[in-house]
């Protein structure tokens, strides 16, 4: 979800950069900046911080499971080599 407060602040900052001679157009420019920023950000494929954190947690759990499985395979291979030594390629 896009934080509209941040967009409003950015639009205001941009309108503050308008030269003093165009101050009467500042409100229109702020509205145009806001619309352009919202449209541009709306087209981006963004996720919320919450969605990102959830996916990060899932990835960490998956990594832990993968590490455990790799250790288990190594242990099983070592046991197999003790029972029936084989040549490695």
pLDDT of residue 88: 56
pLDDT tens, N- to C-terminus, the chain (89 residues): 566 677 788 877 877 777 777 767 777 877 888 888 888 877 887 788 899 999 999 999 999 999 999 999 999 999 999 988 766 55
pLDDT of residue 39: 83
- Specify the pTM: 0.50
| Separation CA 71–CA 68 (nearest Å) | 5
| Separation CA 41–CA 6 (nearest Å) | 12
22: nearest Cα among 14, 37, 34, 36? 14
pLDDT of residue 73: 97
| Separation CA 10–CA 31 (nearest Å) | 11
| Separation CA 1–CA 46 (nearest Å) | 8
């Amino acid at each position: 979800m896009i934080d509209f407060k941040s967009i409003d602040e950015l639009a205001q900052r941009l309108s503050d950069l308008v030269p003093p001679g165009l101050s009467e157009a500042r409100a229109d420019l702020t509205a145009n900046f806001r619309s352009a920023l919202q449209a541009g950000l709306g087209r981006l494929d963004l996720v919320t911080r919450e969605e990102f954190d959830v996916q990060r947690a899932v990835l960490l759990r998956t990594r832990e499971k993968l590490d455990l499985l790799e250790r288990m395979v190594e242990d099983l291979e070592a046991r197999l080599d003790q029972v029936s030594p084989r040549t490695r390629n």
